[in-house]
Amino acid sequence: MKKIRYSEITPEKIYINRRSFIKSIGIGAGSIAVTSLPFTNSALSKEDDKHTSFKDITTYNNYYEFGTSKSDPYIKSQNFKTNPWNISIEGEVDNPIKISMEEISETLVSEERVLRLRCVEGWSMVIPWMGFSLSKLLSKVTLTSKAKFVKFESVYDPDQMKGQRYPVLNWPYKEGLRIDEAMHPLTTVVTGLYNKKLPNQNGAPLRIFVPWKYGFKSAKAIVKIELVEKMPTSSWMWASPREYGFYSNVNPNVNHPRWSQATERVIGNNIFAPRVKTLMFNGYGEEVANLYAGMDLKKFF
């Protein structure tokens, strides 16, 4: 497994100024843990496995709350207000809570996690996120024995999010994970990227990121986390259950009904660069394949 050192994936100028970032999101410099999780994908060449540029990450996005064009999120989200911001954790828990972003920043340690994003449309990025495992946030509540799934709900604010004025999806955006998927250490609560606060167009102030699943599973601008007994219906499942299943694991052997998933285009490469092979679980099979032992991953797509 390839290990990427912090100094190898972060430009020197940003690395030196990381304490300014830490201060900006309210985390004491003494409590920060700057580490990198493994990034694995042997299909990528040495040139291709470089992290995607900040410009590409922040200007080429799917975020339908701001529009369906890849440039809409960057153009239309700049005035989106993310302060104050509270997240409720409720449902099958003994002690439901509402927690502010300030409290999250004060009590949970962010670290750098260089993880791959793979979009169902066939493109990918390598992103130096800042965040922590979702399990750490869920540890603030006590789950009941009925908590089998985790349901995420994004903010509903059509005054600021003009895309929500149109019935593209069943707003507000909803997603979900099985409880063991949610508790896996790679399932990340994202608070920033490139040692900067998370930009609005990337899901500020807080989003979920699940690197072995297609990007739409990673809900943005979260306001509610609900522990539930039955599998939730996500927004894309509601829109097109034939195309978007609950698990949505990156699987080159299961094509989208309208295109192949066998290869992908790495964003930032020359447009004439050859596509690369898509790896099972987006290259994180060693870490997560055990979650699906014995399952038919073509049936449970």
Q: Residue 263's pLDDT is what? A: 97
196 is written with which tokens?
């900067």
Q: Where are the domains of the chain?
A: 6-292
Is residue 155 within 8 Å of 223, Cβ to Cβ?
Answer: yes
Q: Residue 272's pLDDT is what? A: 84
Of 301, 282, 226, 253, residue with least CA distance to 49: 282
Under DSSP, is residue 253 helix (H, G, I), strand (E, B) or coil?
A: coil
* pTM to 2 decimal places: 0.86
Q: Residue 261's pLDDT is what? A: 97
What number of helices (H) and strands (E) belong to the chain?
10, 12
Cα Rg of the chain (Å, integer): 18
Under DSSP, is residue 15 helix (H, G, I), strand (E, B) or coil?
A: helix
For the domain spanning 6-292, the CATH number is 3.90.420.10
What single-letter DSSP state applies at residue 186? T
Of 96, 38, 73, 95, residue with least CA distance to 207: 73
For 42-84, the DSSP string reads TTS-TTTTSPPPHHHHHHS---GGG-SSTTHHHHH-TT---SS
Q: Residue 46's pLDDT is what? A: 54
Question: 10-residue block means of pLDDT along the chain (301 residues)?
Answer: 37 40 38 43 55 97 97 98 98 98 95 96 97 97 98 98 96 98 98 97 98 98 98 97 96 96 93 92 97 96 95
Annotate 202-222 with b (16+ C-beta within 10 A) or e (fewer). Answer: bbbbbbbbbbbbbbbbbbbbb
Q: Residue 37's pLDDT is what? A: 52
Of 67, 56, 48, 25, residue with least CA distance to 195: 25
Residues whose CB falls within 8 Å of the CB of residue 244, separated by 6 or more in sequence, listed in order = 120, 216, 234, 236, 237
Q: Residue 32's pLDDT is what? A: 33
3-state helix, strand, coil in the chain (%, to 5): 25, 25, 50
Q: How far apart are CA 297 and CA 41, in angstroms?
A: 20
* Beta strand pairing call for 222-228 and 149-154: antiparallel
What pLDDT digit, counting tens, does each position of 38-96 carry?
A: 554 444 555 556 899 999 999 999 999 999 999 999 999 999 999 999 999 999 999 99
Q: Residue 271's pLDDT is what? A: 80
